[in-house]
Amino acid sequence: MSPGVEKARARGILLALVSAAGFSTLGLFAKLIFSEGFSVQQALAWRFTVASAILWCIVAATSRTRARRPPVGKKLLAMLLLGFLGFAPQAGMYFVTVSILDPGIAGLLLYLYPSFVILISLLVFRKRPNRIQALSLVLSLGGCALTLFRPGNYPIVGLALGAGMALFYASYLIVSERVLEGVDPIRATALIMLAAAVIYWLITFATGTAKLPGTVSAIVGILCVGSIATVLPITTLFAAMARIGASDTSLVSTLEPVLTIVLSALIIGERLGTAQAVGGCLILAAVLVLRFEPAPQGSVRLP
């Protein structure tokens, strides 16, 4: 691997780690919003509104320095559909799954998605995982199981929904990798967030549950979930996929539940068990072994 390619790959892995760190705060900020009486659709509507507003401000402030042209025609339509039919329903499915299952088992089911990413890539695009990807996948799945699993009896509906959520998210990532090829990730994310916000405001008004944040906690929660837990992780996720591909980005992202547990321990005093510690080490090992993988030929290199 040439020094330039190796540097680009290392940057992609770092971006995926930043994305995982940002997403790991989502549950904590969501709990803060829910504690203020906001419903799922209200929380999601505000989340994507704040995210969209921040991103469009960034686009406006940096439009003169952006080399890539705004998407038009089919590219613009594809990105809007990615928000309407891809990101918006996936985000809603996660919250519904959590409402049925314990957060641990819901998170474990979500992190089946790297397996689905690799499986879909194999079946649809004939892209076989190499040995390092296979090893990373085994380590990450084992780590997620140890980190998140809690014994118990779970409804079949919830388990099916959780598995479907993982498959849906895997498909979304694969489609995103191709739709966003050569597109400015900030502008693309702004369009996707705008589409998702429109969907959830329509749902919110249709159910007659629109609510304004009236307390400091609600305002802080909404601003943080829109910026730290949405803008930061999604833009870095897309940028990582452009450098190392959807398969490797999804494998690195399995570090997210470990970071969530660490944050929960630091902020709300949740205890870390031995199984969680071992699981975290396995996921970290899964990320580290990816450093030794050759750069994927199909990924798009960004500066």
DSSP the chain: --HHHHHHHHHHHHHHHHHHHHHTTHHHHHHHHHTTT--HHHHHHHHHHHHHHHHHHHHHHTGGG--SPPP-HHHHHHHHHIIIIIIHHHHHHHHHHHHHS-HHHHHHHHTTHHHHHHHHHHHHH-----HHHHHHHHHHHHHHHHHH---S---HHHHHHHHHHHHHHHHHHHHHHHHTTTS-HHHHHHHHHHHHHHHHHHHHHHTT------SHHHHHHHHHHHIIIIIHHHHHHHHHHHHHHHHHHHHHGGGHHHHHHHHHHHHH-PPPPHHHHHHHHHHHHHHHHGGGSPPPTTPPP--
24 neighbors 263 (Cβ within 8 angstroms): yes
Q: Is residue 128 part of a domain?
A: yes
* Residue 299 confidence class, pLDDT cut points 50, 70, 90: very low
Q: Is residue 297 part of a domain?
A: no
Most confident of the following: 33-37, 141-145, 217-221 = 217-221
Position 298 confidence tier, pLDDT thresholds 50, 70, 90: very low
Segment 120-140, tens digit of pLDDT: 888 887 777 778 878 877 887
Domain assignment present for 257: yes
For residue 298, is it within any domain? no
Distances (CA, A) of 282 to 106, 142, 255, 289: 19, 7, 10, 11
pTM, whole model, 2 decimals? 0.74
In terms of residue numbers, what domain contains 194? Answer: 3-292
Tally of domains in the chain: 1
204, part of any domain = yes
Q: How confident is the model at residue 290 (pLDDT cuts 50, 70, 90)?
A: low
From CA 196, how far away is CA 85, in angstroms rounded?
9
* Residue 303 maps to a domain: no
224 in a domain, yes or no?
Answer: yes
Average pLDDT over residues 31-49: 89
What's residue 234's pLDDT? 87
104 part of a folded domain: yes
Lowest-pLDDT range, 61-70, 78-87, 96-105, 293-302?
293-302
